[in-house]
Amino acid sequence: MIKPIYVLLATYNGSAFIAEQLDSLIAQTDPGWRLLVRDDASTDRTAEIVAAYAAKDARITVLAASQTNQGTAANFGRLLRAACEQGAAYVMLMDQDDVWRADKIERQIRLMRTEEERLGAGVPILVHSDLELIDCDGRTIHSSFMNFQHIRDEPSAPLRTLLVQNYVTGCTILVNRPLLDAALPIPPSAMVHDWWLALIAATVGKILYDPTPTVGYRQHPGNQIGAKGWRRGLASVWQGLRLSRTGDGNFARSLAQASALKTRVERAGLGADAQQQLLAAYCALFERPRGRCARISGLRALGLRRQWAVRQWLLYLHACLLPAAYANPAAGK
C-alpha cells in the first residue's frame, strides 16, 4: 500500500488567499496526499475557511489551534511532529498565500523515489524547486525566484553555502522520513524550519533541485519573508550590520544554528567525516575570542561562501563587526 504524502499548512490570518491555495492542492494530478492544518491564533476568517474545506474533503485534518500566536517556526514544528506521529513517509510544506502548480506533488515524489532507489531508502533526502513570483492577482512578476534573488542550487558542496546562507525555500520542499528523523526536534536556535531541514540534508543526506517552478510565490504586504527588492534588501542589510556590532542579529543567530547542528550530528553519530570536520572548524572560529583578520582568513580557508559577490563581502563584514571579545554563547550546548 502506498502511503499518503503529508502536506503541512501553518496558518495565521491568511483568509485573503488561503482558498486559492487549498484549491490548488485539491487540483493536484497526484491525489495521494493528506493535509494537516494548524492555525496560530488567527483573528480573521482563516480557521472558518479551512474548516469548510475539511468538512468537504476527508483528506484534510485540522489540528488543535494555538491559543496565542507562537510564530511560523513553532507552528511548523508542531505540524512536523504530528506528521511523524501519524507515520508520515514523506512531508511537504505549504504556505497559505501561494498557489501550487498542478503537477507539483507528482514531479517531486517521482524525483524523490528515483533517488531513493539509487541511494537507498534510509538516506535522508530533500527535494526543492524554483518558484514563479506572482502578485496579489496571480499575475507573473518574475518567472524565476532563484534568478530574481541571485541564488542557485549548490549540488557539489551545499554545506559550505548553507552554513552562511539559505537558498532552499520551504514552500517548495519535499522531505522523506529519514530526514525528518534526523532533523526533529527542531532546536530553538534554528533560524527557520526550512533552513534547518536543508542543513540536515546537506550534512547527513542529499539535496535534489528541480529548476522548473512548482509554486506561484505570491508577493504582498503581509509576506513574512518574500522576495526582497533592492530597497527592502538594503534596509535589512543596514539593520543586520548594526546588530552585528553588538553580537546580535542574523549572523550571530546563524552561528548559534551551526552550533546546534554540530551538536545534533555529534550526538546522533550522523554525517561523513568531511562534513563533521567542516562543522567543527567553522564553529571553532567563533567559540572563543579571535581577531577580525583571523576570522576572515578562517572563513576563506574553509571555503565558506555566500552566493553573489555582494553577499560574500557582507559575510566578511559581519564577521569583522562582531565584538572583538565575541564568543558564540551557544558553543558546546
Ordered by where they begin, the domains of the chain are 5-218 (3.90.550.10), 230-321 (no CATH)
Per-residue CA distances from 168 to 155, 202, 210, 249 (Å):
12, 11, 11, 21
DSSP, collapsed to helix, strand or coil, labels residue 161 as: helix
* Predicted pLDDT at 268: 79
Closest CA to 315 of 302, 327, 330, 331: 302
- The pLDDT score that the predictor gives to residue 70 is 85
**pLDDT digit string (tens) for the chain, length 333 residues:** 577 899 999 999 999 999 999 999 999 999 999 999 999 999 999 999 999 999 999 999 999 988 888 888 889 999 999 999 999 999 999 999 999 999 999 999 999 999 999 999 899 999 999 999 999 999 999 999 999 999 999 999 999 999 999 999 999 999 999 999 999 999 999 999 999 999 999 999 999 999 999 999 999 765 555 555 545 555 666 566 665 656 567 888 999 999 999 999 988 777 778 899 999 999 998 887 778 889 999 999 999 999 999 999 999 998 888 876 666 655 544
The cell for 191 is: 533560524
pLDDT at residue 332, rounded to an integer: 45
Return the closest-CA partner of residue 207 out of 151, 153, 131, 126: 126
pLDDT value for 179: 97
Q: Are 315 and 244 in contact (CB under 8 A)?
A: no
- For residues 37 and 61, the answer to whether their CB atoms sit within 8 Å is yes
Alpha carbon 57 to its chain's center: 28
Q: Across-strand partners of 134?
A: 140, 218
Kindly list the distances between the CA atom of residue 136 and the CA atoms of 71, 98, 130, 170, 312, in Å, as whole numbers in the listed order: 23, 10, 19, 20, 33
Query: In the 3-class helix/strand/coil scheme, how is 46-94 assigned residue by residue?
Result: HHHHHHHHHHHCCCEEECCCCCCCCCHHHHHHHHHHHHHHCCCCEEEEE
Dihedral sign computed on CA atoms, order 208, 186, 145, 12? positive
Residues 6+ apart with CB under 8 A from 34: 4, 5, 6, 7, 59, 60, 61
Q: Which of 221, 217, 226 is nearest to 100 (CA)?
A: 217
Nearest CA-CA partner of 194 in 131, 275, 239: 131
pLDDT of residue 324: 66
Residue 289: phi and psi, rounded to 5, are -55, 135
